[in-house]
Amino acid sequence: MILVDLVRKNLVLLARARSSALIVILGPLVLIFLAGLAFDNANVYSVRVASYAPDDSPLVDVFSGALSSSRFRMEGVPSVEACQDAVRSGDAHACMVFSKGFDAGKSGNEITFYVDYSRVNLVSTIVDVLSSEVGLRTTELSRNLSAALIDALDVTRRTVRQKRGTLVTLATENDRMLKGVARTRASIEGLDVTLNVEAFNLPLLNESGVPTFERWESFANVSVPRLDAMLVSLVDAEQDVNGSSLDSATKADLISSIDDVLNKTLLVRSQLNSAWNQSGGDRAVLNASLVALRAAVSDAKLRTDAVATVRQQAVQGLDEVKVSLDRSLLNVLDMQVGINAIDAALEGIRVTDPGTVAQPVKTTVKPVAAERTYLNYLFPSLVVLVIAFTSLLLAPSIVMFERKSTAVFRNFMAPVPGVVFVAASFITSVLVLLAQVLVILLVAVAVFTIPFASVLPTLVPGVILIVLFVLLGLALGFVFETQETVNLAGITLASLFLFLSDVLIPLESMPQWLRVMVEWNPIVLGGSLIRKVLLFDVSLASLAGSLAVIVGYAVAAAGLVLLVHHISSKHVIWKLLHRKKTK
Amino acid sequence: MEKPGLGSVVQDSYQRGVPADALRELLLKAGWPLDMVKEHIDRVYRDVPDGKAFLAARGLVKGFGARPVLDGIDLDVLSGEIFGIIGQSGSGKTTLLGLLVGFLEPDAGDVSIRTSTGLVSVFKSPEVVKRLFGFAAQVPSFYENLTARENVEHFASLYGIPVGKRRTESLLRAFKLEDARDTLARNLSGGMKKRLDIACAMVHNPRVLILDEPTADLDSVIAQEIWDLVVDINKRGTTVILASHFVQEIERVCHRIGILRNRRVVDVGTPDELRVLYTPYHEVVIETGRASYDALVKLLRSRNDLGIQKVERKGRSLMVISGAPEQVLQFVLRSMTDDVLVRLSVQRPSVQDAFESLVKR
């Protein structure tokens, strides 16, 4: 009952201390409401980007245009220094410098961003958004270049496939030519163009100086068939040469020689016939004919020798052609192997989509929670910060109300243990904080996008945090002597918790030794708990470990409160008794 | 015929610190006859008859660090009296009050109070002491941002006294605060604040009321109101122990006074006893029509047989301090030949004078 009366009295006093009520109670509510309105969006508004490009190029225009068409205000500056100065002076949030000769298809294209890391709360967002936007344009560029490359490869593959048949034809033809050459060579080599003059037995015609008819007849009977056989051979040879794969000059040369021999042979045959026909009784004519014949035979002999020489040369030429054809065939086969390998390699290229080549792995970042405004991410931390700051200001203020009130002497006089007053201050602070957190959560439900179902589970870690920070605040209230010093101490302690948390700077960016400490910071633990419960609907049972840690903190803080209260009470009586009016 | 158990109920209530007024109301509501209730309450609650020692301090020594404040205080406070402690500023009056109620631990000595169960050391039974004593320190002790009524109710609740409108109104009326019941304490006048402070100290109807400098910073009219209130409280049966440096005021209301000097209570007695003890002289006050005393002063100072200690002009009067006031009177009457005697009186010096005399020694 006494406890209830004391709590009621504390609440009345708190309500009547208007300035305190405004600062301590309404302040955080207004703060979180404004923060909620400010962060209940997912955009980066009014970010100014200064840009400098040494050379104008279409690609520079593409990037600048892309950024300005999204949500950035692009401002061109005349130099890198001016660009950096714009960031330093705050005229621009980021500076974007294109490398010299920045254009499509050129190597060494580079975009350098200058940002002000002292604006730690904004820089990450700006860098993230700019990188994302520039990355998008870069990927587009890569996709275009890759498309051209893949088109060229496709054309190559189709051409190789087409020309592979030509190579087969070439090899076949080469092979056929080799065989033709071999056959021609055999034919030419087998060509008998020898003219056995002895066989004409021309000396017989002159044996006695006067040829006899019998001898003539004998001569004619021998020579004429032979000449006819020779003529047939010559005609065959000419056909073979024509059908061979010899080059045309060689062919012409050979055919001309054969024709020459043929003509001479025909002449001999003609002369022999003529001689034979004319020799019917005229020995003189016959003799003359024989002489002429002898001359003709000799001449034919010379010519057949020449043909033999040419044949030999032709055979040699055919041998050389064969060697060349062999080599050519080998080259064609080698080329065929190479082309086949190219075709196989091209066939092995499975990625034909330019997008896949430009960006083989696509990364998509999606929120694990349904909502995507900054408020959702900040809200848990805001709630914890409100709890911490308000508790560390309110609880010591209530203790100070009590300690600095003239009524404390009379309270001390009463038969009520001092710890009851401590408990009353504790309960009062917890009630006020609880009301604040409830209002904050209800405002969040009503105005923002926090689901109502998450509110009640959030109260569990919320209440434990309130208990912890209120106890710490009470301890401060008993340690310090004046309202001013206790306010300063409360703000300092709350700021310490804030700066050594992940609210301003990510844990991952801290040194390892500091991170280990900061991970145990109640603001970090509490923020994580509320985030999990509020945003991810994680069950409280699975968070028992973290909750137990904060409960442990609270138990330790309660011990601390009792200790400092006991120590401070020892010295309070004399001060109370000797308190004088100051006016 | 007496209902069985009334005695034990009253005894138990007394030991639990239930105020007599509240107990009386409860018992009457329960149907107990008024005379029986009064008899039992008077017997138990007034276990120490008026005039008997109720509180006794023996050999009290207290210092703060190396600075001794009190050294061997022996003191008895009688039940039903108003006991005043006077001393110079810094003489240890407040410290002595703190020791008497057990708020401060002495370096040596003890303070005991007589209860229905015998003598109890205030240092060993703080809870009993808290119920028996009411304390109004020099600075009023209440919540500035609560109304007079809320303050009374709050402090009553600390003693487990049911907060009833009738009782609250009765208390406010007794302390002339009924018209300010809903005024925030910070907006009360100085005198009302003091009355509220004493009301809060009296909320549990204590056996002893301790007042430390009750009229400090108050004008004379308001101070007189407070003294009247103190006397009234005492008349209703509450023993009052007060400390003040307004000796003139104290000597008007206190039954006995203790003088604190050089870390000790050098004397305790009624105001008259102290006057006699410290000032064997009398004060002869003379006022004439022309109020011209130069010749008379010369004559008085020329006479060694008149035992004159001091001759001083006070306004239109002349004050003569003398060990032989009768001779001074005769001499003045004889000397008054050319002027009209307007006033001639002989009186003892005040305790203030006695105190000053003591201090000058």
The per-residue pLDDT for range B17-64, each reduced to its tens digit, is 677 777 888 888 888 888 788 777 776 665 555 556 788 899 889 988
Q: Please give the helix or strand (H or E) that residue A537 lies within, else none.
A: none
CB contact under 8 A, A406 and B127: no
Confidence of residue B337 (pLDDT cuts 50, 70, 90): confident
Strand order across the B317-322 sheet: B308-314, B317-322, B282-288, B341-347
pLDDT value at position A235? Answer: 83
Higher pLDDT, B38 or A218: B38
Mutate to test the interface with B, among A20, A420, A577, A583 (most CBs of B within 10 A): A577
A188: number of CA atoms within 13 Å, CB side?
A: 32
Confidence of residue B335 (pLDDT cuts 50, 70, 90): confident
Helices (H) and strands (E) in chain B, counts: 14, 14
Q: What average pLDDT does the segment A158-184 reach?
A: 82
Beta bridge partners of B267: B259
CA distance A183 to A378: 95
Structure tokens at B223: 């101070």
Confidence of residue A535 (pLDDT cuts 50, 70, 90): confident
Confidence of residue B1 (pLDDT cuts 50, 70, 90): very low
B151 has a chain A CB within 8 A of its CB: yes
CA distance A321 to B185: 133
Residues of A in contact with B127 (CB under 8 A): 415
Q: What average pLDDT does the segment A552-569 reach?
A: 91
For A460-524, give the DSSP string.
Answer: HHHHHHHHHHHHHHHHHHHH--SHHHHHHHHHHHHHHHHHTSTTTS-GGGS-HHHHHHHTT-HHH
Looking at A41-45, A368-372, B37-41, which range is the least confident one?
Answer: A368-372
- Name the residue facing A415 among B17, B141, B145 (closest C-beta): B17
A267-307 pLDDT, tens digit per residue, is 877 877 776 676 555 666 666 766 777 777 778 788 888 87
Cβ neighbors of A144 (< 8 A, separation 6 or more) are A104, A354
pLDDT value at position A204? Answer: 55
pLDDT value at position A519? Answer: 86
B230-240 pLDDT, tens digit per residue, is 998 888 888 99
- Helix, strand, or coil here: A144? helix
A235-246 pLDDT, tens digit per residue, is 887 887 777 766
B149-200 pLDDT, tens digit per residue, is 999 999 988 888 876 777 788 888 888 898 988 999 999 988 899 899 999 9
Question: Crossing angle of helices A120-189/A58-70, nearest 10°?
Answer: 140
CA distance A380 to A530: 6
- Tell how far CA A384 is from the center of its chain: 41
Q: Give backbone dihedrals phi and psi of A354, rounded to 5 degrees, phi first.
A: -60, -35
Residues written for chain B? 361
A541 secondary structure, DSSP code: G
B64 has a chain A CB within 8 A of its CB: yes
For B323-354, b/e burial (b = at least 16 CB within 10 A) is ebbebbbebbeeeeeeeeeeeeeeebbbbbbb
* Helix locations, A17-57, DSSP H: 18-20, 27-39
A576 has a chain B CB within 8 A of its CB: yes
Give me the amino acid identity at A453: A
Would the pLDDT of A470 be above 90?
A: yes
Higher pLDDT, A489 or A226: A489
Can you tell me the ipTM of this complex?
Answer: 0.73
Would the pLDDT of B283 be above 80?
A: yes
pLDDT value at position A583? Answer: 37
Determine how β-strand B264-269 pairs with β-strand B256-261. Answer: antiparallel
Higher pLDDT, A364 or B71: B71
Contact A96, A51 (CB under 8 A): yes
| Cα-based angle B334, B335, B337 (whole degrees, multiple of 5) | 95
CA distance B357 to B274: 11
Structure tokens at A348: 């092995």
pLDDT value at position B333? Answer: 85
Looking at A176-185, A194-203, A471-480, B172-181, which range is the least confident one?
Answer: A194-203
In the stretch 94-113 of chain B, residues with CB closer than 8 A to chain A read 94-95, 97-98, 103-104
Contact B154, B146 (CB under 8 A): yes
pLDDT value at position A364? Answer: 57
Residues of A in contact with B157 (CB under 8 A): 1-2, 5
CA distances from A555 to A391, A464, A468, A469, A471 (A): 16, 11, 8, 11, 9
pLDDT value at position B149? Answer: 92
pLDDT value at position B126? Answer: 82
A129-168 pLDDT, tens digit per residue, is 667 777 777 777 788 878 888 888 888 888 888 877 888 8
CA distance, residue B232 to nearest chain A CA (Å): 22
Structure tokens at A345: 């390699």
CA distance A14 to A428: 9
pLDDT value at position A581? Answer: 46
Determine how β-strand A47-52 pairs with β-strand B308-314. Answer: unpaired
B119 has a chain A CB within 8 A of its CB: no
- Helix, strand, or coil here: B295? helix
Would the pLDDT of A520 be above 70?
A: yes
Percent of chain A at pLDDT > 70 equals: 78
- Name the residue facing A577 among B17, B98, B154 (closest C-beta): B98
Would the pLDDT of A554 be above 90?
A: yes
CA distance, residue A493 to nearest chain B CA (Å): 29
Contact A178, A171 (CB under 8 A): no
CA distance, residue A399 to nearest chain B CA (Å): 14
Q: What average pLDDT does the segment A565-582 reach?
A: 68
Would the pLDDT of A232 be above 80?
A: yes
- Name the residue facing A17 among B135, B145, B151 (closest C-beta): B145
Q: Please give the helix or strand (H or E) that residue A66 lies within, else none.
A: helix A58-70
B17 has a chain A CB within 8 A of its CB: yes
- Average pLDDT for chain A: 78
Q: What average pLDDT does the segment B225-246 reach?
A: 88
Residues of B in contact with A12 (CB under 8 A): 145-146, 150
Confidence of residue A426 (pLDDT cuts 50, 70, 90): very high
Helices (H) and strands (E) in chain A, counts: 20, 4
Mutate to test the interface with B, among A413, A570, A571, A574 (most CBs of B within 10 A): A413
CA distance B108 to B301: 51
Would the pLDDT of A474 be above 90?
A: yes
Would the pLDDT of A365 be above 80?
A: no
pLDDT value at position A573? Answer: 66
B340 secondary structure, DSSP code: -
Confidence of residue B304 (pLDDT cuts 50, 70, 90): confident
Percent of chain B at pLDDT > 70 equals: 92
A246-266 pLDDT, tens digit per residue, is 677 777 877 887 788 788 778
Contact A434, A442 (CB under 8 A): no
CA distance, residue A12 to nearest chain B CA (Å): 8
